[in-house]
Amino acid sequence: MVEELAGRDDSLDSTLIQRWKQGDERAATALVERHSTALARYVGSLGERDAADEVVQDTFVRAFSSLDSFRGDSSLRTWLFTIARRLVVDRRRAVRRRREVGNLDEVDAATEYTALDSMFAGEAQRKVWGAVGKLSPTQREVFLLRVNEGLSYKEIAEVAGTTEGAARVHYHNALRTVKENLNE
């Protein structure tokens, strides 16, 4: 019974997607109405309660702009959850970067943090980001999810759409590449 209902939901989503592609704006509204509450609940469960509405809106903007690339390998709802999760991860990275940059600009007189120390810290940060920038997109994603977000390999596999073993391999290869680039 559950599979039958899920099949009807997927079928309805497919119909609405086709209608939207043909120019029916009401179909887009119906898709938003069908999935926005569940997405907001999911985003809230990830700890983004205050920004849930914004993330949900961004999820639909991103989904509608790339709907032609949706192959239907998973349900539309699963695809929307994946987009939302990536947006949450991106938001957290951006917040962390702003904090890191802000912290590097502050001078701590109590520890006699000098302009020279700030210069070296800034140079080290540039070298690290330069090394991370040389990673393949998959390695970079796995590396940053592990280092910045502290996700487990299992969680990384879910987000990146890969296996836990592949996530481990990508992370260790990325770590080796970053270390090699830092030693140059």
Cα–Cα distance between 31 and 13 in angstroms, integer? 7
Query: What mean pLDDT is reported for the chain?
Result: 79
Q: What is the pLDDT of residue 125?
A: 73
The radius of gyration computed from the CA coordinates of the chain, to the nearest angstrom, equals 21
Confidence of residue 149 (pLDDT cuts 50, 70, 90): low
Does the pLDDT at position 37 exceed 90? Answer: yes
Cα–Cα distance between 80 and 62 in angstroms, integer? 9
Q: Taking a C-beta distance cutoff of 8 angstroms, is the pair 87, 119 a contact?
A: no
Cα–Cα distance between 49 and 131 in angstroms, integer? 34
Confidence of residue 151 (pLDDT cuts 50, 70, 90): low
Q: Pick from 26, 80, 33, 88: which is nearest to 55 by CA?
A: 88
DSSP state string for 2-21: HHHHHHHHHHHHHHHHHHHH
Which of 106-115, 134-143, 170-179 has the weakest average pLDDT? Answer: 106-115
Q: What is the pLDDT of residue 4?
A: 35
Does the pLDDT at position 150 exceed 80? Answer: no
Which range among 44-53, 56-65, 119-128 has the greatest average pLDDT? Answer: 56-65
pLDDT (average), residues 91-117: 62
Give the predicted TM-score (pTM) of the model.
0.52
Confidence of residue 170 (pLDDT cuts 50, 70, 90): confident
